[in-house]
Structure 1
Amino acid sequence: MAAAAMEEAARAFIVVMIAHCETGVAAFVFPSSTRQWQAAASKGWSDLFPCQGESAMMSSMHPKFVGRHYAYGCFYLESTMNKKLLAFDTRRMEFSIVDVPCETSNMFGLAIVEAGEDMIGMFDIHSDLRYYIRGNKGESSSQWKIKKTISLPSDYQYYIQASTERYLLLRKIGPLQSISSSPKMLEVEYVSMDVKTLQLERVCGISFGFSLASARIYTSFPPSLLSAPTI
C-alpha cells in the first residue's frame, strides 16, 4: 500500500490557468486527483495596486502580463505597463505584486530562476548580463541585490530567450558588423547558463536563423508517466 501511495504521489500533477480582465485577476487549477477545474484565487486591481491612480489606470487600460516564469512553487508574469511582476503562489493560492529593480530594462526581457537557499534570482540584459537575488523571507527579503555582472562580447547582440528553475537560455546574434555588410552571413547561436556556476555553454547555432526566435527550453521530457514500460 505504501509503494502504491508513493507511486500515485509521483504521478500527481496540477494545471494552473491565470486569467485577467478589466476588474482583476483570477487563477483556476486542474488537480490530477479530481480532474476537474476549480476556482483557486482572485484579486482585484485595486487590491494589487493600492494607489488609486494606478489601479484606475490598470482597470481602464486592461493590463497585459507576459513572460511567464516559475520558481519555488510560484509563477511570475511580467507587466507590460510598469516594472512589476504579478506573482501567483501555488502553495498558498495567493496573488501578489513583486517590484522589479528600477535599473532593469524591459527591452530584452528578463528571467526568473531559483538562486538557491530559498532565494529568487533575476537576470536582465543591458550591455552586460546582470544577476540579481531576492530573499523569500527574513530581513530585507523584498529588496533586490545585484549579485554579479557578467560581461558579454560587444560585437554580438544577446537576448534572454527562456529560463527554467536552474538554467538560462540566451540567443546570440552577430557579428553585428555583418548585419549591414552581409545580412546572409549573420549567425544565431543559443547559449545556456547554469545558475549555480554562471558558466556560459554553447547549445547550437545556425546561419540567418530568425525562425528560431521562439525557441524554448524543455527539461525532463517526456515525463516518466509517458515513458515506455520497462522490465
Structure 2
Amino acid sequence: MAARAAMVAGGRLEPFDFGSSCDIIKLIPQDLFGELCEQIIQHLRCWIPGVNTVELSQRFQTAGVPVNVADLAKVVNVVSFLFSTAAKNNLSPEELSTGLGNAVSMLPKHAVHVIHHIWNEQGKSISVSEDAKNMATVGQVVDIQWKLGMAVSSDSCRSLKYPYVTMKLKVADSSGQIMSKSFEMTIPQFQDFFRHFKEMAAVLETV
C-alpha cells in the first residue's frame, strides 16, 4: 500500500508548480474549493466536458476571492492530477492523503479535508481506461454560438459594408478546462463551413 501511495508524490507534482498552487488554494474557502473539486470529479467521470475556469473565476471574484483564470487553471491541473493518479493506482482516501507526502504540509487543512471527503464519496466511480486517456488528448467542442455582423469601415476603406459571421466556440481542452475561442468568417466561408457540417451529419446518420 505504501508503495502505491508514494507514486502520488514522487516529485511528479513539480511540473504543476505545486507550491504556487497551494498558495492559491489557501485563498479559496472550503465551500468554493469543494465545488471546484466536484466539477473536476464530474469531468473525470465524463459527466461534464470540462471545468469552466472562466465562469468559476468570475464567481470566486464576486465572492471576494482574488483568484483569476490563470491561477484557477493551476489549481485545476494539480487537483485533476491528484485524482487521476489516485484512480490509476486505485488508492484509498487514506492512501491518497498519505501519498501527498510533503505536500500535505503545504496544503491548507480545509483542502486536505475536501480532497479526502470527495475521494471517499466518489473515488471508486472513476476509472481511467486507455480509451478515455486517448480521448482526453483531443479538445472537445462544448458549445457553438454565432452572430451576423456588418463591417462598416476600416483604416483603408471608409465604406466597406460587407456582412460577416462571428463564431464563438467553447472548447474543453485536454486538461478539462473550458476555454472560449472566437473567429470571423466571410459569408462564403461560413457557407462552406456549414456545408462541411451537413456532410458530417449525413455520414453520422449512416453509422
TM over 0.5: no
Report the TM-score, using the length of structure 1 for normalisation: 0.19
Q: Which has the higher contact order (CA 8 A, sep 6+)?
A: 2
Report the TM-score, using the length of structure 2 for normalisation: 0.21
Structure 1 or 2, whichever has the larger Rg, is 2
Of Structure 1 and Structure 2, which has the larger fraction of its residues in strand? 1
Of Structure 1 and Structure 2, which has the larger fraction of its residues in helix? 2
